[in-house]
Amino acid sequence: MKPLLRRLGMALGHVDGLVFLAGAYWPMSALDWDGAAALAMADINFVGAFRVLNQVMPQFLQRDAGHIVITGSLSGFRGLPGSIGYGASKAGVMALAESLYADLCRTGIQVQVVNPGFH
């Protein structure tokens, strides 16, 4: 499948690197389940990373060059109260970054995951 921008007739142009910094968070406990909010967090925080990567990975792979920075969260390391949608989506983002790193570590494409913390 061609990247979205190409399908729409738009060119992204040369990209040296990307920083995926999406982060939707609405406090939510399993006791106050809100399926729409959970899906929105998963779509923005996790699926959004795939959408952005889909736009740049073909050129990164073709050039054997590029830099990917994906923002996770300390919330992705373990389940925390009131963060059921956010924590799960950030755990997915962190696993995505780790898998990218494992696959690309011997190429010219650099991959980093950044996990901001709490105050």
Q: Which positions are annotated as active-site residues?
A: 86
| Rg (alpha carbons) of the chain, rounded to whole number | 16
* Cα gap 34→117, rounded to integer Å: 25
Q: How many angstroms separate the CA atoms of 59 and 15, rounded?
A: 8
What is the 8-class DSSP label of residue 108?
S
Kindly report the length of the chain: 119
Tokens standing for residue 97: 């970054």
